[in-house]
Amino acid sequence: MLKVLDSAVPVACWSCSVAHNESILFCPHCSKIQPPPGGDYFSVFGLAPRLDLDLGMLEHEFHRLSRKLHPDRFARALPNEKDWSLADTALLNDAYRTLRDPIRRTGYLLKLQGAEMGEEHSGKDRKDPSRVPADLLEEVFELNMQLEEMRMARKMGQTDPDLQADLTAAKKKFDGLLDAVDQDLRGQWKVWDEGDEAARQSAQKTMVALLDRRRYLSNLVRDVTETLGA
Ligand SMILES: [Zn+2]
């Protein structure tokens, strides 16, 4: 077995011994399947890390590689090659799932760059005022009261059309705030993709904060949706 090397270190193909970039799934010289590469998800697709991706190209490449890795093609291959076709397929699927989703892609790239990411907020944390985005303190306080009231009413088998309307309006508002965060994120993608090192550092910081805010807002929207739909 070859040992997994750091990204960008050339490795020798196990079959033909010609050195190649270790992030690829197939040897460019003899076309033989290679063990799962140790690079990042972008390099699986032959890409440098970036945020604004051509999703059509990504999908096309995913299907092309999936077909090449299909276990049926390795029915008569060596046991190692059979194992790699499964392991490479799992890696390709993970890479595609992560990169095609704009939010997951952004979070993944930030982690790759060593950014400290916020933690998942539990329901309890959300009521901790220090976790609430400062500009939303009052609204979140109000919303939590309304959610509590709604749950109580439900428990008693009551309906409260006014409260229902308030919560529906609140959901719409927070949905709008989520859209605004996504717009801001896309703006930062451009800065990160095209900027110099200083611009990238600053974009990273902004994106970490935006993802944190996004997570908070998504949890709120989910809470309201659940309470309304209960
Ligand atoms: Zn080879």
Over residues 178-186, mean pLDDT = 97
Q: Within a domain: residue 198?
A: yes
Band the pLDDT of 83: cuts 50, 70, 90: very high
For position 128, what pLDDT does the model report? Answer: 64
What mean pLDDT value characterizes the chain? 89
CA of residue 100 to ligand 1 center, whole Å: 30
What domain range is 30 assigned to? 10-100
Distance CA 93, CA 98 (A): 9
Q: Quick one: average pLDDT of 3-24?
A: 75
Same domain for 221 and 134, yes or no, is yes
Q: From the CA of 16, how far away is ligand 1's center (Å)?
A: 4
Is residue 63 in a domain? yes
Q: What is the number of structural domains in the chain?
A: 2
Contact yes or no for 146/167 (Cβ under 8 A): yes
Predicted pLDDT at 129 = 63
Same structural domain, 222 and 128: yes
**CATH code: domain of residue 24:** 1.10.287.110
**Which pLDDT belongs to residue 3?**
37
Assess whether 51 and 131 both reside in one domain.
no
Q: What are 114-169's pLDDT values in tens digits?
A: 987 766 544 555 556 667 888 888 889 999 999 999 999 988 988 889 999 999 99
For 68-81, the pLDDT digits (tens) are 999 999 999 999 99
Higher pLDDT, 222 or 4: 222
The count of C-alpha atoms lying within 13 angstroms of the C-alpha of 127, restricted to the half-sphere facing its C-beta, is: 8
Identify whether residues 129 and 199 lie together within a single domain: yes
Residues with CB under 5 A from ligand 1 (ion): 13, 15-16, 27, 29-30
Cα–Cα dist 177/207, whole Å:
15
Same domain, 93 and 138: no
26 Cα to the center of ligand 1, angstroms: 8
Count of CB atoms situated within 10 Å of the CB of 162: 7
Same domain, 146 and 81: no
- Residue 212 · residue 118 · CB < 8 Å: yes
CA of 163 to the centre of ligand 1 (A): 67
Across the range 18-28, mean pLDDT stands at: 87
Asked if residue 7 has pLDDT above 90, the reply is no
Question: Do 96 and 140 fall into the same domain?
Answer: no
Q: According to the model, what pLDDT value does residue 158 have?
A: 86
Rounded alpha-carbon distances, angstroms, from residue 151 to 15, 139, 158, 159: 64, 18, 10, 10
Residue 188 maps to a domain: yes
What separation in Å is there between the alpha carbon of 99 and the centre of ligand 1?
28
Q: Quote the DSSP letter at residue 157.
A: T
| One domain for residues 131 and 223 | yes
61 & 130 share domain: no
Assigned token pair, 84: 């790699």
Same structural domain, 90 and 130: no
13 CA to centre of ligand 1 in angstroms: 5
Answer yes or no: is 113 within a domain: no
**Domain-embedded: residue 107:** no
The reply to whether 2 falls in a domain is no
